[in-house]
Amino acid sequence: MILRLAFGSLLARALTVGMTILAIALSVALFLGVEKIRTGAKASFADTISGTDLIVGARSGSVQLLLYSVFRIGNATNNVTWESYQDLANRPELEWIVPISLGDSHRQFRVMGTSAAFFEHYKYRQGRSLEFGIGVVMDDLFDTVIGHDVAQTLGYNVDDPIVVAHGLASFAKHKDQPFRVSGILEKTGTPVDRTVIVSMQAIEAIHVDWQSGAKTPGKSTPIDAIRQMDLTPKAVTAALVGVKSPLKTFSLQRAINEYPEEPLLAILPGVALQELWGIVGIAETALLAVSMMVVVTALIGMMATIFSSLNERRREMAIFRAMGASPIAILGLLILEATLTAAAGAVLGLGLLYVGLFIAQPLIDSAFGLYLPIEAPATRELLVLVAVIFAGAIVSMVPALRAYRLSLADGMMVRS
């Protein structure tokens, strides 16, 4: 009986109730959407580098090494000599090793020297490999492969020339040794998208006429002569390492950290990523708090709507009392109406979330490389819906208690 009365009362105020349900639905969709993006961003963040057991560089901090070697942020405190790199590469525990050389740039994008093994062994998003949208891996000394964002931002295509600048934000350019774009990578959502990739030998080639960070005055070695030179690298900035057996990872890490020839640091990418996420994760907490306040605001709005309707419903309440309804029944009716309203808003909000995910998922993935899986609601999301419904019942108790205290005489009184 009381359920039928609640439905009838809500239908009689369809416009007001509908607006309240929509406000709750939008707030719930926002909250759950932020949660989806938060977990998706965290997963994408953790999947920036996958399948790499160790990252090796000059001794500094684990987060600093991760930032410059993977995210191309900041600079190394020192380089690793080529001799030390060779010693590491010859260790029996290694399955593969990829050198990385950083320091130069192209129009604010970082230039990375590496080997062809980078395209084979660099993985992201749980084992996905790099794919070429157009073109191929570097074949000539002065070939380069560019990331998706570099090509899109600067309007490059295959066979376009690129002139690398010495250092970061530098006006000194290696104009005598221009590169040719040999390939453009597909979007990955990783720092590779913003990277200009060349060979390790090319890094040596463009610095033939440079000493101590400056070009030697009046010296310009012809490209043909450079091609005949021994371009073996003198140092690397860092190295990505794959180990034959996971059981040997920690022993190899300890051996590298205790390397006697020079101070080196080997880090586990997953551990360093968690440490870095702990630093930047403050922003996600703030965003989650803001979206939670939106839900609270919607519930307070529902409470205000119930309060504002009490004066209009005094006669209705009085008639219920006159027909034998107890004050407890009046209290229960209002709480039930609010609970049904909150439940409808929560369910509609969940529906809006999945409609939005279905539409936005491919767009977000292609634009930002952020993959948001469309899955059944997780336990955490279901608990959020239950919490919203329960909170709706709680906030309705304040106006319900006021209705409970209205006297029959006050309800029947005609006001002029």
Sorted by where each begins, the domain ranges of the chain are 2-45+281-412, 54-267
365's torsion region: left (phi>0), alpha (psi -120 to 50) or beta?
A: alpha
Report residue 259 as tokens.
């390397």
Question: At 220, is the pLDDT very low, low, confident or very high (cuts 50, 70, 90)?
Answer: confident
For the residues 185-189, what does the mean pLDDT come to? 90
Question: At 211, is the pLDDT very low, low, confident or very high (cuts 50, 70, 90)?
Answer: confident
Q: What is the predicted pLDDT for the residue at 411?
A: 46
% pLDDT > 70, the chain: 88
- Per-residue pLDDT for 324 more than 70? no
Q: What is the predicted pLDDT for the residue at 252?
A: 95
Q: What is the predicted pLDDT for the residue at 134?
A: 96
pLDDT digits (tens, 9 = 90+) for 241-278: 999 999 999 999 999 999 999 999 999 998 998 888 87
% pLDDT > 90, the chain: 43
Q: What is the predicted pLDDT for the residue at 408?
A: 44
Q: How far is CA 356 from CA 189, 287, 335, 369, in A?
A: 21, 19, 31, 17
C-alpha span between 169 and 179 (Å, rounded): 19
Q: How far is CA 416 from CA 156, 213, 310, 413, in A?
A: 78, 90, 18, 10
The kind and range of the H/E element at 204 are helix 200-206
**Contacts for 215 with CB less than 8 Å, ≥ 6 apart:** 166, 172, 209
Nearest to 206, CA basis, from 165, 236, 247: 165
Nearest to 196, CA basis, from 213, 215, 178: 178
The alpha carbons of the chain give a radius of gyration, in whole angstroms, of 32
Please state which of the ranges 54-58, 173-177, 201-205, 265-269 shows the lowest mean pLDDT. 173-177
- Per-residue pLDDT for 409 more than 70? no
